[in-house]
Chains A and B, each alone.
Chain A
Amino acid sequence: MTADPGETRPGTAGAGTAADLTAAPEGAAAVVPPELLAESLGQYLRAWWLRVRSGNSGVLPVVLAMAIVAVVFQIVTPEHAFLRPSNLVYIFGLSTVYMVLAMAETVVLLIAEVDLSVGAVALFGGVVAFKLVQQPGSAWPWWAAIIVALLVCGAAGAAQGTLTARLRIPSFIVTLGGFLLFSGILIVILGGADGFVNVSASVPNQRVIYYLVQGRIAPVVGWVALAVVVGVAGTVLWLRGAARRRQGLAAPPASLTVIRIALVALVGAAVVSICNVNRGTSLVTVEGVPWVIPIVLAVLGAWTLVLQRTRFGRYVYAIGGSPEAARRAGVSLAGIRTWAFALCAATAGLGGILLGSFFYGEYSTNTQDPGQLVLYSIAAAVIGGVSLFGGRGKPIHGVLGGLLIGGIAYGVSLLNLGNLATPLEYIVPGAVLLAAVLVDVLSRRGTGSGTRV
């Protein structure tokens, strides 16, 4: 709908000819990751700044936006409650579904498509998993229920992907139909408009699903786990940099690696110490890192690995950058596109299971509006830095964007708005979505790759 076929992209018309040979190093620096050009930390920072100024700002805008949101809400919320540890942990739980769905949406956005059904598919997956572990019903073991739910969602995504990839029906139409289809099926499975399904913490098999979001890791275990994670990640980062340097490959300067490791350790320590503050009442102690944080990190790690280190990931970026170039290079467009939709839907299904867990293991038709869910997810991905026009973005952008969206949603709910509370639930995400897309469009304009006539 947005890209008009048959037109030449401005700036690529003479690519490969004289223009390329005379391109200034500045232009090249904007495209190449700064690691590859920098010999020292100072050079790296300069290369990075050049990149930011040319429109490839990465996670910088979303991190800035998070800082602004945190400060503003801390000031305006009653009793300055926004940044309390209990609220911060709650925001993470609330944002989980947005983070996971935004990662799912990212894959589809990367191939320059869109999936409007992620919200409905997520709820559908959650309800399927919850139904499967029910005692009077099939009572599957929790892991089998989750796997089956993810497979069912994946199949749903593959079906939509096939229609988009093979028949070239616009993806927003196919997934709009899918949205309606799965919203309807969801209510049918729930057993009518006032049906619900829940998992209980007292049934051993259902307990795991119940605790996916709410469960907590004991404070001591949390610290130990953090130490192990930072240790392993740091070692891997350091050894990889060292190995590349030894073999004479382009590698980031050693000081940069150290800073990165220190940053990971610092953020981890901050998260663990915030989560280890007692956020219960004087009667009940509630402390420790919630399970959902390692779960989200695992999803993030898996998606980052798939997109950055596998052939599938390279093909996804290739298709997003230029489908015709990818096709001529021998990439099966239809195959990759179908897989992207399938993986997106499976990830969305996981998000749905986590959503049910967040709502104390209960699913009803009122749990969440699937339409709002998909809007928040797309907004989260785009705010995080994923481009709507394909080829640009990382899973981490979805996570950061999701956190921002969850933070805004929760912050607004903390304010005493009276009659305006309900309308703002709609207006704020709409405005945020438009703002994010505007930034995306304007930043692409900066890089000289226009979007259409």
Chain B
Amino acid sequence: MTADRGETPPGTAGAGIADLTLDAKVAAVDVPPELLAQSLGQYLRAWWLRVRSGNSGVLPVVLAIVVVAVSFQVANSKFLSPQNLVNLFEQSTVYMVLAMAEIFALLLGEIDLSVGLVMGLGSVMVAELVQPTGADFPWWLAIIVMLLACSGFGAIQGWLVARLKMPSFIVTLGGLLILEGVAIIVLGGALVGIGNSRFTNEVVLYDIFYGQFSPVVSWILLAVLVGAAGAWLWVRDARKRRHGLETPPRSLTALKIVLMAAAGIAVAAICNVNRAHFGTIEGVPYIIPIVLVVLAASTVLLQRTRFGRYVYAIGGNPEAARRAGVSLPRVRIWGFVLAALTAGIAGVLFASWQVSLTTNIIKTANSYVLLAVAAAVIGGTSLFGGRGKTIHGVLGGLVIGGIYNGLYLLGVSSQWIDVVVAAVLIAAAIIDVLSRRGAPRQA
């Protein structure tokens, strides 16, 4: 719909000849800075070159987080209080997971407009399946069945897109309508809830969003996590260096580990402040590690497996991927399956967050797709495929959550919040387009 077929991307016309005379600067733009740098100083220079050429990575979104934090803190001093920050984290997790779902489709150069309602259907299904008066499944079985159903739906959409070559935004637009109807059928009556504390299965689901580790456990968990991740990073780099492979400088690895530890300590410290008006609520909410697990799993899948490489290849240039022997339909179908599966995980969080689900809540679930796309694009994932990581969804989700939370604190009505989110979405799309224009490899 958007790209003009037949227009040659500028700069690729004489590729074969031009490549030979490319100077080192342009090459540096395409190669990750780790591979060229010998010292921290060199690394920073290479990174800056990359940023200036349009490959800015997470820099814009980190800046956006700072801007959101500072401006809302100025407008309302409660914004950065520990109570509100934990609230903000919790709210953002749904956007984060949904944005990660959307990224699977965006990386392929497709879009999935149905993730919001896959989440809605998933939340209704999981709540219905654990009802003692209904199916009475154990909570884990309910989640598995629901995730399978969502994946199946994703597979159908992916099949229509990949095999029949229907435009993905139309397939998923039709799909979301059908899902809305199906979700209302599954809901059956007026509402379904998981708030009954007499039934263990409902309590587990409820606690996914509202439960937390005790402060001591939180600290121990953090130490284990940072220790494991740090050790793994260090050992991997050391092994690469021993084998004489390209490796980031040692100081950079140390810096990364320190940054990770600092961020973890900050989050744990904020969450361990007592945030209840009466009594005690303290500790890291369960959903934060849940999001981290989804992030880690999707990052490994996309960055370390053959499937991930194929996803980026198709997103970058489908024709080249096809000629290289990648089965386009299969990878595309799996992309949509993963998008729907991740949206189903968001559905578990959503059900837990909302506690009781009604027809109206199913309808609002639909509007979350815009937030998901906006979060992914704000985070730095390209709308045109081939560029992005799931961490972008997490960071972008935090921005969206911050905007929602901040405007809500200021007493802005929901329709104006929609207007602001629309503006943010368009702004993110403009930044995406302009930053691609800056990059030498443009489509």
Name A residues whose Cβ lies closer than 8 Å to a Cβ of B: 1-9, 112-114, 163-164, 167-174, 176-181, 183-185, 187-188, 192-193, 322-325, 327, 371-372, 375, 378, 388-389, 419-420, 422-427, 429-431, 433-434, 437-438, 441-442, 450-453
Given contacts A176-B370, A181-B422, A438-B164, contact A5 B169 (CB under 8 A): no
Alpha-carbon separation in the docked complex, A9 to B165 (Å)? 14
Contact residue among A177, A327, A422, A423 (Cβ-Cβ distance under 8 Å from B425): A177
* New A-B pairs, 11, CB < 8 Å, besides A180-B367, A433-B170: A5-B3, A5-B443, A7-B5, A9-B5, A170-B2, A184-B419, A423-B180, A426-B184, A434-B171, A434-B174, A438-B160
Total count of chain B residues near the partner, CB < 8 A = 65
Set of chain A residues within 8 Å of B7, measured between Cβ atoms: 5-6, 323-324, 327
Q: How far is the CB of B408 from chain A (nearest CB, A)?
A: 15
Set of chain A residues within 8 Å of B177, measured between Cβ atoms: 372, 375, 426-427, 429-430, 433
Set of chain B residues within 8 Å of A5, measured between Cβ atoms: 3-7, 9, 443
Alpha-carbon separation in the docked complex, A178 to B421 (Å)? 11
Alpha-carbon separation in the docked complex, A5 to B317 (Å)? 9
Query: By CB atoms of chain B within 10 A, which of A2, A185, A192 has the most?
Result: A2
Q: How far is the CB of B430 from chain A (nearest CB, A)?
A: 6
Alpha-carbon separation in the docked complex, A451 to B166 (Å)? 9
Interface stretch (choices B58-66, B231-239, B410-418): B410-418
Any chain A CB within 8 A of the CB of B434? Answer: yes
Any chain A CB within 8 A of the CB of B178? Answer: yes
Given contacts A4-B109, A6-B319, A430-B181, contact A176 B167 (CB under 8 A): no
Q: Do B418 and A3 touch (CB < 8 A)?
A: no
Per-residue interface assignment for chain B, residues 365 to 380, with 1 indicating a CB less than 8 Å from any chain A CB and 0 otherwise:
0110010010001000
Alpha-carbon separation in the docked complex, A234 to B216 (Å)? 88
The total of Cβ contacts below 8 Å across the A-B interface reads 211
Q: Do A323 and B4 touch (CB < 8 A)?
A: yes
Q: Do B6 and A188 touch (CB < 8 A)?
A: no
Set of chain B residues within 8 Å of A441, measured between Cβ atoms: 164-166
Q: Do A163 and B164 touch (CB < 8 A)?
A: no
Any chain A CB within 8 A of the CB of B21? Answer: no
Q: How far is the CB of A334 from chain B (nearest CB, A)?
A: 12
Contact residue among A113, A163, A181, A327 (Cβ-Cβ distance under 8 Å from B1): A113
Q: How far is the CB of B404 from chain A (nearest CB, A)?
A: 13
Set of chain A residues within 8 Å of B433, measured between Cβ atoms: 167-169
Alpha-carbon separation in the docked complex, A441 to B162 (Å)? 12
Given contacts A178-B422, A430-B174, contact A1 B168 (CB under 8 A): yes
Set of chain B residues within 8 Å of A424, measured between Cβ atoms: 181
Set of chain A residues within 8 Å of B111, measured between Cβ atoms: 1, 172
Set of chain A residues within 8 Å of B417, measured between Cβ atoms: 184
Alpha-carbon separation in the docked complex, A346 to B113 (Å)? 26
Given contacts A323-B5, A426-B178, contact A7 B319 (CB under 8 A): yes
Set of chain A residues within 8 Å of B169, measured between Cβ atoms: 1-2, 114, 172
Given contacts A174-B426, A430-B176, A434-B160, contact A187 B1 (CB under 8 A): no
Set of chain A residues within 8 Å of B413, measured between Cβ atoms: 192
Given contacts A5-B9, A168-B433, A323-B6, contact A184 B164 (CB under 8 A): no
